[in-house]
Amino acid sequence: MGTTDYEDLTPGRIIPLGEVVVDHDEMLAFAERFDPQPFHLDEEAGKRSVLGGLAASGWFTASLWMRQYVDHLLADSTSQGSPGGRDLRWLAPVFAGDVLRCEMVVLGARVSKSRPELGLVEITGAAYRGDEKVYELTFTGIFGTRASAP
Amino acid sequence: MGTTDYEDLTPGRIIPLGEVVVDHDEMLAFAERFDPQPFHLDEEAGKRSVLGGLAASGWFTASLWMRQYVDHLLADSTSQGSPGGRDLRWLAPVFAGDVLRCEMVVLGARVSKSRPELGLVEITGAAYRGDEKVYELTFTGIFGTRASAP
């Protein structure tokens, strides 16, 4: 497969983005820096919380997913970033040692009216632990169109 | 001000969350680990992109905002995490050295029907560079109610 352009991201496509293991030490270091809430830092505080255990910051989960998306799709693409998304869901707590299987589904795609060299792709990204979806975000990805490629 | 409970987060409240300076080295280290796209890693690639310069990963911006939210509100609160959000917006590229003024606005609040000891608060978090909003997320925060406090 060559470089992924706008034209490759057709609605309905499901693209696997590999697996990542949640590393205990990195999970804690992330929480200490960006999300130092007790249930992200301390096992006992996690057990007492609604999360039921020492759980990853949702932003760590989102960032782990992002890296999978870069490695498995964006790195060889005409991506030009994202203006944002909707429906951000942390569906279940994520714990150290969890194996997160990452995936994306293309929901829709259209060429930009103001900049026809760019296409806007609506994507739902998700992470699963076994069959359980633990994270989801629907967002817009901006990609160059093949027609405009140099 | 004492501990922030559900009852303190009344719709319409605007709560300042302080300022953070975007650190060049940390911005790059974050991108290398979680979002290694060229325009997040390399000045020239950034200039050639729609971002117009070496710009922060949107997940770094979100994570910086989160830390401000923890330090200025959650640390002394009955927060029990968040199930997610909607309307995630990266409105403008963020660059090293930018000063981000963070803020939250309470949009709505209701007690959980299934767990009346918890309240669900709809919050819009935002980061501004001067008068320009560069980041926004509307999300649900879960807080303990004062009535249920031990």
Nearest to B83 among A70, A80, A89 (CB): A89
pLDDT in tens, A80-112: 999 999 999 999 999 999 999 999 999 999 999
Neighbours of B77 (CB within 10 A): 20
Helix (H) or strand (E) holding B107: strand B99-111
Looking at this predicted complex, what is its ipTM?
0.96
Pick the CATH number of A6-148 from 1.10.645.10, 3.30.70.20, 3.30.1330.40, 3.10.129.10: 3.10.129.10
Q: Compute the nearest-CA separation of A121 from chain B (Å).
A: 15
A70 contacts B36? CB cut-off 8 A: yes
Domain ranges of chain B: 6-148
SS3 A111: strand
Nearest chain B residue to A40 by CA: give it: B81
Angle at A142 between CA B97 and CA B105, to 5 degrees: 55
DSSP conformation class of B96: T
pLDDT tens digits, residue range B5-48? 999 999 999 999 999 999 999 999 999 999 999 999 999 999 99
